[in-house]
Amino acid sequence: MENNKLKLSIKTLKSVFSDTNEPTWFLNIRKLAMYKSYTLPFPKLESMDLESWQLFNINFSNLRLSNEKININEIKDKYNIKDSDIVVIQKNNTILYINIPEQYKEKLVIKNIFEAMNNDHIKDSFLSVVDYAESKVTAVHYSLLNAGLFVETKDNVVIDEPIQYIVITDKKQSLFNHVTIKAGKNSSLNFVENYINNLKKDDTPFSIVVEVVAEENAKVNYSSITNLPKGKRGTILRRGLTNDNSLINWNVAAMDEADVYHDNTTNILGNGSEANLKIVTLGVKEQKTYFNSEVVNQGLNSRGDILQHGVMLDRSHIVFNGVGFIVKGATGSNAYQSSRMLTLSSEAKGNANPMLLIDENDVMAGHGASLGRIDEEQLYYLQSRGLSKKESSRLLVHGFLSPVISELTVDFIKEMATVLIDEKINNNESE
């Protein structure tokens, strides 16, 4: 389709990103990725077609770094941020505030992604998990990357405070955001990202890529909440690599009204390493949401677990595609997955596709999937106690989603997810 080709010249590409101060090697990556985007295919999805989403209908001039201003004290008050917190605040595509308390400054590196590219030590971590030539989606992402963050903990460092990354959008601008997180050997960190869109109407495409590398004996807790409005469409790729005896916990609350393709894949490389993926989502109106969730066991005695819970309202469509893959030689490994879907509307649609690919004998694996309507007996019971149908539905939805909500590592994020669920239930158009 002609709409799925970047109509962009090298001259325009260099002009648009002339203010990023990025190194020459990355400009060359942009060029290579742009050429690759012409021939690479979209990811092939069951029940949905990314080619029809018009992901490349972009005003290239709006990708430029913008001259943003922000009232830091107002933001701190609104999101209950203290001076002792580790916080990054980004407005549109510009990072305006980074706060690292004194006790962490020698233990933790946090930089704008373009600044990080210019550091010889750091640049090796960038692009280490997500290849620009993987698909048309990744090629376009690297071609148009216009914002992002690099986070690294030093070896043998435990960061008790969560690292909060707040991204606020208040104007129409396509965001191609890239986050790279590296946990050094024997280190531990909690990373929490919060994408907030303050526009009532926004139809700009977006792309978010997150790379997480856990070195030997490292532990990373990653929590994310997104709240992108109706009319937007885009992709969110989260990828991880675990080394020996390391752990990555992914906790994702997708509270959007936007159409979003999510790809959450972790390669469990090291012996004794582990990856856990927990996803909670709630579909509304005509929203389309696709989750491709994979854990690939490659190390001995490695463990992978996928837990996905989704609720569908109105005429929404949610797909859970879960893949547990144990490769040849990964003896003693475990791979489990569970996808549960609840619908409050006869017009909503859900697909759960659990798959296990097992290429080794000495392993343990299992999967399960369920799709059903809200329990009428439970509804009747709650209504018989004086609750309205909508309030009864709200309580049952919270109960259904709570196993994932409870895993989010910051109280404010849990509270925000709960508030967003309530808002969606209250605006529910379903009977």
pLDDT in tens, 163-188: 999 999 988 889 999 999 999 999 99
Looking at residue 28, what is its pLDDT?
94
Residue 381 banded pLDDT, cuts 50, 70, 90: low
Per-residue pLDDT tens over the stretch 82-95: 889 999 999 999 99
The mean pLDDT value for 128-143 works out to 94
pLDDT at 292: 95
Q: What would the pLDDT profile of 252-278 be if each residue is shown by its tens digit?
A: 999 999 999 999 999 999 999 999 999
Mind spelling out the 3-state secondary structure of 110-133?
EEEHHHHHCCCCCCCCCCCCCCCC
Report domain extents, the chain.
Answer: 10-270
- Reported as type and span, the H/E element at residue 384 is helix 376-384
CB 139 within 8 A of CB 171: no
pLDDT at 430 over 60: no
Whether the per-residue pLDDT at 373 is higher than 90: the answer is no
Instruction: Please compute, for residue 207, the number of CA atoms within 13 A of its CA located in the half-sphere on the CB side.
Output: 23
Mean predicted confidence (pLDDT) in 283-309: 95
pLDDT above 90 covers a percentage of the chain that reads: 63
At 43-66, the pLDDT tens digits run 988 888 998 998 988 888 888 887
| The predicted structure's pLDDT at residue 5 | 76
pLDDT-derived band at 34 (thresholds 50, 70, 90) equals very high
DSSP secondary-structure letter at 423? H
